[in-house]
Structure 1
């Protein structure tokens, strides 16, 4: 297990670092580093302390070490002592309000940065406007002692991508910042982008190890595809390829007895609608008149488990830990609102624990099935998608035969399930592991960069 050390600042100007005697045994250390900044110093054993590393005020200033007191990890490579990790969380949408620096997302980020001590990492928020390229400095937003502080620090060891949406992800200047930090500075960048539903489906289908979880899915090209799938499955879903939050999802149902077509969706006013049409063409003329169908996909309808005649699906969070291993960190059931095409809360959906909706034996069985599926899918996505992935949120379903199906994988999963009181401990776990993974990445980038940048 990695050991952590408290970094203490002595009030002198000596270029000397005092370390626990055991730390210096049989080692040659010539430099100290924090983030991407390092300097040459002398190292001496501390005669009394075994749990801390003591640096001078002069060293603190030179390596831009903030005045925040939490135990940090120590890594040794090429006669350099690295303390940290320093984790930059890259995002957009900053305000000029000091106690609300990131607007309505400030609460989430304050909670995220509050796991610093539990993880042994120093994390901070920044945007492209906070980077001073010439000096190699970032004016970061730290959350310490329940207060937001602006502190100048070096470029970080790793960067955690928390851009809020696809629009910000596609802004050219943000794309350029990301490319520059990755390619020029060789900083590992994790959870780099939002998933495209069809791209994920195609990659997983080619993998072979998880194909049993994949509902039949096609890009929208013609009515004949929908007619064929309706004949096979009775109902299908039309979804935006790059959608999120359940927006733009339509369920189309074919009644074989009457030959009628039904469409269930939420209109622009947020009202759940169910409309009947005599033909598929009429349905599309009326419901999809203003929509670009080439941006849509068609997915097999699944006859899901239900509670009180309302479909149930499941949100499963997975995270990598400080060893780079996948874990299931949260599972919740989501029950669709009355007449809703999705299980989202804004459509009347409810969040429940599995224990609340299933008897004990079924609960154990379904928890195991969902967990196994999520871990297999996480590994498959990790292997087949470009970039470093540290967390995924899955929307999975279980059909009437007890089979698990993948509906969606999210690289930046929402956190609405944690509003349920029984799921709040898992809120902490997911936040903790999302930063603990940075410890693993830092160690990999120092000790095994060929594995990380291959």
Structure 2
């Protein structure tokens, strides 16, 4: 029996992250502690390994595990993992040549499974969804921002737009643009700050473009059709879903949360002033309990189809993703975002199930071999 399986044949799992010269390794330590604890409770050997220490030709690698108090960290030697759970925290880390090389080596390794190898790119997500008749209907019109002409072209067709960084995270860098032709300054650009937003007005799009250009700082951006979301007490909300693969390797919805935009925010992200809400209560208060059940069932169904299509598009093995779906004023579903490194859900029941599913899927990967 290979030493990359525990005594009862459970695979050895490593959480992959980046080396940090001050803190030993990067990433959400509390998240890692909870993953390790859940793994131990389920009978797995789990540890944190950095890209630097993951030596694929060695039988043993240097890793980190929690101390007896579950808070401190200690360094030990561990068997090479059978499954790698990728939690490299930042895109800029993932883009480093040595990191790309290591991920590629893991993908090619005959005895290791790594899942969710890369972050998603926003523009690619929408192009993948548009390739399927089924998922296309949930995707707002999305184009690459290629200068003023591309913005002008989009606003001719949609008077309400969002501008989003292709590689954005947690609502950073998002702008909202509206054209209200009956106003003397018809072009309104709202820029998201920390928890507030600033509005710039202009008589022409050319005038406003200087501001847009200054905000985008040359980063790749997408322009997206704005959706008039259903609101409660004047605040827009969307549904945050966690979709994971089960022990059978099938996509399932682990949980649905709701996030409501802050009163001065153009996004629902909690770091930007958004609040965590109960989706059942929210939808029931808007649509009544029967209709709310129907909507939630449709949302779950859409999420599974979207996850399948994204995996088909990216051509890598995925085991989980979070996604944001919105409901417009007529109750139709729209897809806004998917994240291949989901942040932890604050809802306790979703959190517990999500941790267990990480290991259920690792089991499936090893059995599939």
Q: TM-score, normalised by structure 1?
A: 0.75
Once the two structures are TM-superposed, the CA of residue 171 in structure 1 deviates from its matched residue by: 1.5
- The alignment partner of 1:412 has SS state of coil
Matches within 5 A, 1:34-113: 34-35=3-4, 73=8, 83-94=9-20, 102=25, 105-113=28-36
Matches within 5 A, 1:16-415: 32-35=1-4, 73=8, 83-94=9-20, 102=25, 105-132=28-55, 135-143=58-66, 145-147=68-70, 148-258=73-183, 260-267=186-193, 271-289=196-214, 291-292=216-217, 295-359=220-284, 360-415=289-344
Partner of residue 353, structure 2? 429
1:386 is displaced (CA, Å) by 2.0
Uncovered stretches (5+) of structure 1, i.e. residues with no partner: 1-31, 37-64, 66-71, 74-82, 446-454
Q: Secondary structure at the match of 2:297?
A: helix
CA contact (8 A) 1:272 1:347 kept: no
Output the CA distance in 2 between the equivalents of 1:398 and 1:225.
27
The secondary structure found in structure 1 opposite 2:349 is helix
Aligned to 2:366: 442
Gap change, CA 1:188 and 1:132, over 3 Å in 2: closer
- How far apart in 2 are the matches of 1:176 and 1:103? 19
1:7 aligns with none
Q: Secondary structure at the match of 2:198?
A: strand
2:26 and 2:89 in contact (8 A); partners too: no
Point out which structure has higher relative CO (alpha carbons under 8 A, 6+ apart). 2
TM-score, length of structure 2 as denominator length: 0.91
Unpaired runs of 5+ residues, structure 2, are none
**Deviation of residue 186 (structure 1)?**
4.1
What is the total number of aligned residue pairs between the two structures?
362
Tell me how large the CA RMSD over aligned residues is: 2.2
Whole-angstrom distance in 2 between the partners of 1:140 and 1:214:
41
Larger radius of gyration: 1
Q: Distance in 1 between matches of 2:214 and 2:328?
A: 32
**The 10-residue stretch of structure 1 (310-319 or 289-298) with the greater mean CA deviation from structure 2:** 289-298
Structure 2: how far apart are the matches of 1:323 and 1:92? 30
Structure 1 283/439 Cα, relative in aligned 2: closer, same or farther at 3 Å? same
